[in-house]
Amino acid sequence: MSGEYTGALEDEDLADLDAEDVAVFMMRNPSFFSDHPELLDHIQLPDRFVVGGVVDFQRYQLQRRESEIDELRTCAQDVIETSRTNMSIQTRTHAAVLAMLHAQTAPQLYRIIADDLPILLDIDVCAVGFEPAENANVAILSEHLRTLPPGTVDEVVGADQDVQLYREFWDDGTVFGSAAGLVKSAALARIKPGMAMPSGIIALGSRDGTFRPGQGTELFSFLARIVEACVMRLSGDKL
């Protein structure tokens, strides 16, 4: 017999065969599967078997190697996806920075933060706000700027923190205003442009789990420092 099994035997012919007949045939024809390797795709082999009191671990070892290869392939894919994500975030952050650097006035800067940064950073809401200024001569009001109650920055960011990430962020409108209902996760960073300027925050909000504790905050911290520099430059404040 050569080629693929064609099913030449009828059921009544197979009924006369038993396991012992097949075993005898295989023992008398040890090269059967070498001559017909295509049949191996249609039989089920044991995970391990004993011959002459010796356990054959070859199949077990092969399965273990296949499992290790699958795990390595998954890890490699995770690394590739993480690298792509990081590169995308970095590119988006650079675009946001360039957009803010083009602002010619403080109101224009706040408009860019509120309207353009959500698109550039692929988030849902971006807000910037300041607590009341101690210096009454400092005017930073804008329709795109949040006025925060005193102590808000320390409360939401942390008195000894510059950045805070929230997997779930509840906001009554103090930080994100009318968009508070959209926000599920948030990233908040402290900003203080100069000695004469009040403390403030830049807040990024997402309707899904974009932000969570444990994520890297280097790029977000960099973005906050750029906001500080732009506010200081456009307000005329000096350190």
Q: Dmax over Cα atoms in the chain, in whole Å? A: 105
Task: Say how far apart CA 57 and CA 51 lie, in whole Å.
Answer: 11
pLDDT at 137: 46
Q: Please say if the pLDDT value at position 187 is more than 70.
A: yes
Q: Per residue in 111-160, pLDDT tens?
A: 999 999 999 999 999 999 998 876 544 455 567 888 899 999 999 999 88
The distance of Cα 183 from the centroid of its chain, to the nearest Å, equals 18
31: amino acid identity, one letter? S
Average pLDDT value for the chain = 80
Please count the CA atoms within 13 angstroms of the CA of 219 that sit on its side-chain side.
17
Q: What is the per-residue pLDDT across 40-78, written as a single tens digit (0 to 9) for each?
A: 667 665 555 555 555 555 665 666 677 778 788 878 777
> Which two structure tokens, joined as six digits, stand for 227?
């906001």
- Is the pLDDT at 27 greater than 50? The verdict is yes
CA gyration radius, the chain: 34
Contacts of 189 by beta carbon, 8 Å cutoff, 6+ apart: 157, 162, 163, 164, 201, 202, 203, 217, 220, 221, 223, 224
In whole angstroms, give the CA distance from residue 70 to residue 60: 15
Q: Report all structural domains of the chain as residue ranges with CATH numbers, in order of start.
A: 11-56 (no CATH), 70-235 (3.30.450.40)
More confident residue, 80 or 21: 21
Cα distance between residue 133 and residue 111, in whole Å: 21
pTM, full prediction:
0.62
Q: What is the pLDDT of residues 71-96, one digit of tens each?
A: 888 787 777 766 666 677 888 899 99
Residue 173, SS3 per DSSP: coil
